[in-house]
Amino acid sequence: MKKKIAILGSTGSIGKTTLNIVKKNKKDFEIILLTTNKNIKKILKQSKEFNVKNIIVTSNYHFKKLKKININKNLKIYNSFKNLKKIFKTKIDYSMCAISGIDGLKPTFDMIKFSKNIGIANKESIICGWSLINKEIKKNKTNFIPIDSEHFSIWSLIKNDIHKIDQIILTASGGPFLYKSKKFINKAKPEDALNHPNWSMGQKISVDSATMMNKVFELIEAKKIFNLNQKKFTILIHPKSYIHAIVKYENGLIKLLAHDTEMSIPIFNFFYHDRSKKIFSKPINLTLLNNLSFSQPNIKNFPSLKVLKSIPKNDTLFETILITVNDELVKSFLKNKIKFNDISQHLLKIIKIKELRKYIYKRPINIKEILKTMNLSKHITIKFLKKNA
C-alpha cells in the first residue's frame, strides 16, 4: 500500500530533494499535499508530475494568479493552512515540514495532528517553538524525526539510549573563511561568505555557516529535541563535513555517524526508517576517514559562539530574539549595508538591549506570543542599525 505524504515547502531545496526521492520510488508514495509561498510555476509543474490534487499557496497575490491560470479542474488550490481539515480526513503517513524561516512554525504545528510521522527541517520552528510543538506531538501521538543532518545523525545514534549519554559532538565545517586571514575576512563581501566549500545552500544559511551562527542554532535545537543539558554538547571543526555527529556513552563507548554531504540521505531515511530500502550512495571515502582533522573552534575567529553562554536552561523567548536579530543582520550584510564582522559584534550588543532583556527568561505561551516577540526584535534591530550606520 502506498504511503500518503505531504510536503510543506515543496518548491524549496529540501522540498525538491524530497520529491526527487519520491520520483525514484513512485510505487511507494502518494502525495496528498504540496505547498509554496509564491512559486506557482514550480508547484503547478510538481502537481502535474506527481498527480497531486491539493496545493496551498500562501501569498494572496500568487494564489489569485494561480487560480486564473490553472486549467486542471481536479486540482484544489487553497490560500491558507486553515484548510487542512478539508484536505485530511484521517492521519497521513508522513509529513515533511520544510518551509523556511519563522513562517514555517504555524504550518508545522498545525500539521502534527494530521500526521503519523512528521519530519521537521525548519530549525526556526524547533528553536522558537519546541515546547509547543513537543506538547502537540505527544498529545497526538505523532512520531517526530529531525531532518537536519546533524540532528538526524544524533537521533540515529542514540534512539533509546538517551539517558546513557556522556557527551555529544556537533561537527562544523568552519565555512569559507576557516583558512582565511583576518585581513581578508574584514573585507569579505557577500559573495565570499556564500562560497561554502562543501554544501550547496541558500544565502542565509551560508552566511550563518561563515559566522558559525548555524552551529549555535543547531546546538540549541539539539538541546531541545533530546532534552539534554547544554554541558553535554561540544562543537568541533571538521572541514570535510563527513562526520555529522559523535556520541560518547557513559560506558566508554563512542559512536559516530558519517555520510556524504547530501541531504537526500537523512530525508530518504526519514521515509524508510522503519523498513529496509537501499539508496544509491558513493563508496566509503577512505581518504576522508584517514584525514578527519577535528579541531576546537577559535572563539576569536567565531565570536558568535559567545552567545552560547547566554542560552537559558529552559525554553524561553530568548531563542526567538536570537533568531530574529541574526536574520536582520544577515539581510543587512547581504545588502552590503554592514561588514561581515558586524554581524557577530552587533548581535552580541543587541541581545543585551534593555527592551529585549525582559523577554529572555519568559517562556513562550503560544505562537502568537512568539510572533509578537519576533516583530519587536526586528524593530529594535532595524533601529539599532540605523543608529549605527
Give domain limits for the chain: 3-147
User: How far is the C-alpha of 134 from the C-alpha of 109, rounded, in Å?
Assistant: 9
Residue 231, φ and ψ in degrees, nearest 5: -65, -20
Q: 243-249 and 254-258 as β-strands: parallel, antiparallel, unpaired?
A: antiparallel
First CA to last CA across the chain, in angstroms? 60
Question: What's the pLDDT at 200?
Answer: 67
User: How far is the C-alpha of 292 from the C-alpha of 241, rounded, in Å?
Assistant: 9
Burial class (CB in 10 A: 0-12, 13-18, 19+), 129: buried
Count Cβ neighbours within 10 Å for each residue of 95-120 and write b for 16 or more, e otherwise. bbbbbbebbbbbbbbbbbbbbbbbbb
The label of the residue with cell 494530521 reads 114
Q: 293 near 238, Cβ under 8 Å?
A: yes
**CA atoms 199, 204, 208, 210: torsion sign:** positive
Residue 199 has pLDDT above 70, yes or no: no
Q: Which of 23-27, 200-204, 248-252, 384-388 has the lowest mean pLDDT?
A: 200-204
Average pLDDT for 28-57: 97
Convert the pLDDT of each residue in 365-383 to its tens digit.
999 999 999 999 999 999 9
Average pLDDT for 220-242: 94
Residue 178, CA distances (Å) to 68, 133, 165, 275, 337 in order: 50, 35, 30, 40, 23
CB atoms within 10 A of CB 303: 17
Tell me if the domain spanning 3-147 has CATH number 3.40.50.720: yes
Per-residue pLDDT band at 190 (split at 50, 70, 90)? very high
Convert the pLDDT of each residue in 266-312 to its tens digit.
999 999 987 777 887 788 888 888 888 899 999 988 999 999 999 98
User: How far is the C-alpha of 271 from the C-alpha of 19, rounded, in Å?
Assistant: 12
Q: Name residue 136's amino acid.
A: E
Question: What's the pLDDT at 195?
Answer: 83
User: How far is the C-alpha of 32 from the C-alpha of 351, rounded, in Å?
Assistant: 42
Average pLDDT for 74-84: 96
The cell for 205 is 544559511
User: How far is the C-alpha of 55 from the C-alpha of 46, rounded, in Å?
Assistant: 10
Element (H, E) at 33: strand 29-36
Question: What's the pLDDT at 186?
Answer: 82
Residue 321 has pLDDT above 80, yes or no: yes
Q: Which residues are 54's β-sheet partners?
A: 76
Question: What's the pLDDT at 278?
Answer: 80
pLDDT above 70 covers a percentage of the chain that reads: 99
